[in-house]
Structure 1
């Protein structure tokens, strides 16, 4: 639990240590097993690692996120697929779930965004579970990222996750969290 939650931190600085592809693959393989509605599984990920790919991502970054993203061993562009429902006959054969979305763009968008974000949360925990540190963030131009990395698809970017081995000397002080009674009630 400490590795996943209480001792884990959002990193802004990175050690100069390569992240093996096998760990990225393993973490995503674990994350895919988390539940989504009707097993819709809209999460799509592009791992930005090469200098070429970073040069393509760089212009989309806000000034406060540019340098730490360029320094990260890997950056995951977290996207969600607006064509997820096309895969439902295979992913959810228990019902004609594809028909639930026919002609309903608002439902497609809402379902893809919600469930893609949910899967991304599983992915963050999976990355931590395999021993990596993460720095999830917004602060980028989604239209630029979509045009650069998802052109010709119905995939849209949601947020980014810098991934690597965190440099603890660059951590901000730990922020407080709400107490149970400040965020929940049992009725």
Structure 2
């Protein structure tokens, strides 16, 4: 079985046209260097307004974002990044700290009104923090696709001191850092070689 070649072309079996398929997936890459072109507040809001509709368990919305833009805030973040992730984070015009709100259940009456007891049940649920992290991970995936939909590149990373980031940026919030995502337009030599992908019949079984 062979791995999927990166030049496999779009298919007519999908509702998205070929250019959208390429923009979101086939030609999209994880950027490791960025230009100085800014990511605007309008772009960031448009991305969030799109991806907030992605499905999660109970329609919960535990993802919280800290937008790091200023040189001072970036320096605070850089000291908590792993050595290999510091240069790319230093060049990104916007970096998002993606965190999970373990108190997400407090918003359930608003986003999930037909389950009146959901908030009280989740308050006592010992798996609430794990649920927050899992659904934040789902929302992180939507966020990456939304960044690509804006014509930008995302560089998601988990190589950082989570406790340091929590203490530096999230103290007292009940939010747990899940990932750090650099956002911007790719700069020179932004790509590592693309790794192969598994083929369909290596992944899918039918019963």
TM (norm. structure 1) is: 0.96
* Distance in structure 1 (CA, Å) of the matches to 2:100 and 2:155: 19
Aligned match of 1:46: 66
Q: Deviations over 1:3-41 (max 9, x none)?
A: 000000011011121111111111011111111111110
SS state at 1:26 partner:
helix
Structure with greater helix percent: 1
**Larger mean Cα displacement after TM superposition, 159-168 or 4-13:** 159-168
Aligned match of 1:93: 113
Aligned match of 1:23: 43
* Distance in structure 2 (CA, Å) of the matches to 1:66 and 1:47: 17
Shift of 1:155: 0.5
* Distance in structure 2 (CA, Å) of the matches to 1:177 and 1:69: 26
SS state at 2:107 partner:
helix
Moved over 6 A (4+): none
* Distance in structure 2 (CA, Å) of the matches to 1:168 and 1:5: 20
Aligned-CA RMSD value: 1.0
* Distance in structure 2 (CA, Å) of the matches to 1:68 and 1:6: 22
The one of 168, 175, 179 equivalent to 2:195 is: 175
Structure 1 segments unaligned to the other structure (5+ residues):
none
Structure 2 segments unaligned to the other structure (5+ residues):
1-20
* Distance in structure 2 (CA, Å) of the matches to 1:125 and 1:20: 17
SS state at 1:15 partner:
coil
The structure having more radius of gyration, on CA atoms, is 2
The one of 8, 22, 27 equivalent to 1:2 is: 22
**What is the total number of aligned residue pairs between the two structures?**
186
Aligned match of 1:151: 171
* 1:138 pairs with 2:158: yes
SS state at 2:66 partner:
strand
* Distance in structure 1 (CA, Å) of the matches to 2:187 and 2:89: 14
TM (norm. structure 2) is: 0.87
